[in-house]
Structure 1
Amino acid sequence: MTSYEIIPLPSKKTLLALLDKGERKDGRDFNSYRDIEISTNVIKSAEGSAQVKIGNTIALAGVKLILGQPYSDTPDQGIQIVNAELVPLASPSFEPGPPDEDDIELSRVVDRVLRSSNMIDLNKLSIIKGKKVWIVYIDIYILNHDGNLFDASIMASVAALLTAKIPKVEITDENKVRLTEEYINLPIKDLPIGVTFSKIGNNIIVDPCYEEERLSDAMITIGINKENNICTLQKRK
């Protein structure tokens, strides 16, 4: 990723002075999120989709399902695959080309939160053990970057999965799979969320904006399931 900035950032000294007074540049307290907006069914060609805005950050998630073979070590489970793309127009620091380490890290963290919370009941996506299962693709696109991509992407993925529909299947006498015209909800077991904290100097804040992220000493994203149990942690600089 490139390191240049178009809009000058406030100096770390100025930002630290604000934080030491218990203030943030946008007026929030340390434990407050920016305004959150969730829109669902925004991609008509997808089985499920959602767009999430946290402040000016925008994450779009789409769900596609295809029939395929299970992994050999989990012959009676469906498959979950997460991909993320940081769209170049979303930030001057995003570059076109194949997925880089930032795309990969974002997709891995979202995948880990969904998987460790058992959000999707993968056992119910098995059709013929060892031969045929549903494969769930969750594709994430960052459309605008103003900080906290992880929470926005997790939220968009969860909302998209909640809207996803799959066709009922029938097994023929020849042991083949036939898709019916009846659709059902994707089997869901949990509703995880991600909460990201940023450490700047001696202060810890939630939902850092872009300027706060650029000056952070460290950040951590905590995945939490519906029982308020921690299911994953991801620390980064």
Structure 2
Amino acid sequence: MEVKVFERVHPREYFNLFSEKGIRPDGRSLTGSRKTAVRVGSISTALGSAMVKCGSTTMLCGTTAKVVNPTGAKAEFAPIDVNVELLPLCSGKYRPGRKPEESYHLQELVAQHVRRLVQPSSLELEFDDMMWSLSLDIYCLEDDGNMEDAILLVAIAALKDTRLPEILSTEEGYHATKSRTRSIDFRELIVPVSFGVVDSRVVVDPDSSEEALCEAKVTIFVDEKGSFRGMSKSGGSVASKDLLATCSKLAVQRAPALFSQLSN
């Protein structure tokens, strides 16, 4: 049987032929990550933007903002709306029309973290208790697995690139000026590192073919000090302490390279 046919007909057996030797079909070790690249300023019409590539998985994000007058107590979390588009161009599994469930999952993932990471006071204006409300529009240009890492990285990179115009108060009203801008402050920064579990073997940064075989996925969030800042898990049974310890150790090792990309 030809190799390509065997891979397509028996994908799990094909993967295991490699994983038993500590490698993967794409040549990576089980703990190896694909090349990750972050580029900011990709959209000239946005207040901030970024493109992130994790292997072939590619995400594009642009930020916009509007002035709002929030009601009630001082904001505990930053007012940020997130929209994620998974269009047919990024993968054949998505169809035109109804938004796929994955879009809503990714929107919630990004919103949950960026609203907590951004310092709300850095969005406040100096008059009338008004503040900036941000919107993130994220497009997946190619889905080759591990969208979770790519999408959170692109959201953070775009927010770091965002420059909010100063609002001037005049007799004629309020006016935004692009000649004076300010950046957004963060309470902290985190990076995600995701893992797939295939036949009890842990693989870092699974691609789309590996994700199709995963019985579980785990994402570990790490801050700039290398400290554990949370985790998420999907699929499978309850994660064992040994599994989480392994993932946490590998995430801490991977994090500096991701922070380096965000700081470039």
More helix per residue: 2
Structure 2 distance, partners of 1:182, 1:10, is 59
Taking a change above 3 Å as real, the CA distance of residues 127 and 105 of structure 1, as seen in their structure-2 partners, is: same
Residue 3 of structure 1 corresponds to which residue in structure 2?
none
* Aligned equivalent of 1:191: 189
Query: CA separation in 1, counterparts of 2:175 and 2:223?
Result: 35
Picking from 160, 172, 176, the partner of 1:179 is: 176
Q: 1:17 to 1:76 in 2, by over 3 A?
A: closer
- Tell me the residue number matched to 1:44: 44
1:129 to partner: Cα distance: 7.8
- Alpha-carbon distance between aligned partners in 2 of 1:190 and 1:233, rounded to the nearest angstrom: 16
- CA distance in 2: counterparts of 1:166 and 1:27, whole angstroms: 44
Give the 3 Å change call, closer, same or farther, for CA 9–178 of structure 1 in structure 2: farther
Look up the match of 1:124.
122
Contact 1:220 1:236 survives alignment (8 Å) = yes
Q: Give the match's secondary structure for 1:45.
A: coil
Question: TM-score, normalization: structure 1?
Answer: 0.86
**2:68 matched to 1:68?**
yes
- The within-5 A match list for 1:1-237 is 8=8, 11-70=11-70, 72-75=72-75, 78-116=78-116, 118=117, 120-127=118-125, 131-171=129-169, 177-180=174-177, 181-237=179-235
Inter-CA distance 83–153: structure 2 relative to 1 (3 Å threshold): same
Q: 1:76 to 1:190 in 2, by over 3 A?
A: closer
Structure 1 vs Structure 2: percent identity of aligned residues?
Answer: 28
What RMSD in Å do the two structures reach over aligned CA positions? Answer: 2.4
Residue 84 to residue 71, structure 1, CA distance change in 2 (3 Å): farther
Question: Cα–Cα, structure 1 residues 179 and 76, in superposed 2: closer, same or farther, change >3 Å?
Answer: farther
- Larger RCO (CA within 8 A; separation ≥ 6): 1
Answer whether contact 1:75 1:129 (CA < 8 A) is retained.
no
After superposition, the C-alpha distances for 1:85-108 in whole angstroms (9 at most, x for unaligned) are 112111011122243321010111
CA deviation after TM superposition for structure 1 residue 178, in Å: 3.6
Paired residue total = 228
Give me the TM-score of the superposition, normalised by structure 2: 0.78
SS in 2 for 1:52: strand
* Paired residue secondary structure (1:67): strand
- Note the residue ranges of structure 2 that are not aligned, 5 or more in a row: 1-6, 236-264
Aligned match of 2:258: none
For 2:99 and 2:149, locate their aligned partners in 1 and report how far apart those are by CA, in whole Å.
20
Per-residue deviation at 1:220?
1.4
